[in-house]
Amino acid sequence: MKTRREVLQGMIVSIGGASMLTACAGVASVIPTDQPQGSRFYSADELALVSRLADLIIPRTDTPGALDVNVPGFLDSLMADWANADTQRAHHQYLGQITSNLSSSFVTLPEGAAIPLLEQFDKEAYSGSGDHRGYRALKGLITQAYFASEDGALQEQEWVAIPGRWDPCVEIA
């Protein structure tokens, strides 16, 4: 398996954006400089944000993470092909709100700073106070996209195409 950094780098290269990855150990963050040519919906900044969030929400563990299965690219296509103009507009707005809620430099923060910041924000978003529809919608899409991927379904979720039998009560070891 490639390192997460290699995956992210490969993705940025494949979509053609001039970019760089910070060299800090264990950190993969993106500094985009212009519109990624391969991206159909997201701006370079947006793609960087979605990539960073996807990586922090569903990181690589002993199974592939959201970047390994290209969740950002999947969502870029989803928004280009599935969403109507209203949904697209709202999605752009949501990303702007998330950026301003977190920090304009969020995508460049090292992991040690980004994780506590996002954890706090995520906690708020599910506390019932404030309007966090945008973040919750994006997190839902990232999660669904991940588990709809082959690796997410088969490796992480252990999805079985043909269970072949019904066991109504399984003891969890």
Interaction site with another protein (CB under 8 A): 56-59, 61, 65, 77-78, 81-84, 87, 115, 118-119, 122-123, 125-127, 136, 139-145, 147-150, 153, 156-159, 161-172
Considering the complex, what minimum distance in angstroms separates the CB of residue 108 from another protein? 18
Whose Cβ is closer to another protein: residue 104's or residue 168's? 168
Give the distance, in angstroms, between the CA of residue 21 and the centroid of all CA atoms in the same chain.
Answer: 17
Q: Is 21 helix (H, G, I), strand (E, B) or coil?
A: strand
Within 8 A by CB and 6+ apart from 57, the residues are: 66, 118, 139, 142, 143
Give the integer Cα–Cα distance in Å for 65 and 63. Answer: 6
Whose Cβ is closer to another protein: residue 131's or residue 158's? 158
Considering the complex, what minimum distance in angstroms separates the CB of residue 153 from another protein? 5
Tokens of residue 147, six digits: 């588990």
Give the integer Cα–Cα distance in Å for 73 and 49. Answer: 12
Whole-angstrom Cα Rg for the chain: 17
Considering the complex, what minimum distance in angstroms separates the CB of residue 33 from another protein? 27
Whose Cβ is closer to another protein: residue 19's or residue 149's? 149
Considering the complex, what minimum distance in angstroms separates the CB of residue 134 from another protein? 14
Tokens of residue 141, six digits: 């899409």
Whose Cβ is closer to another protein: residue 17's or residue 53's? 53
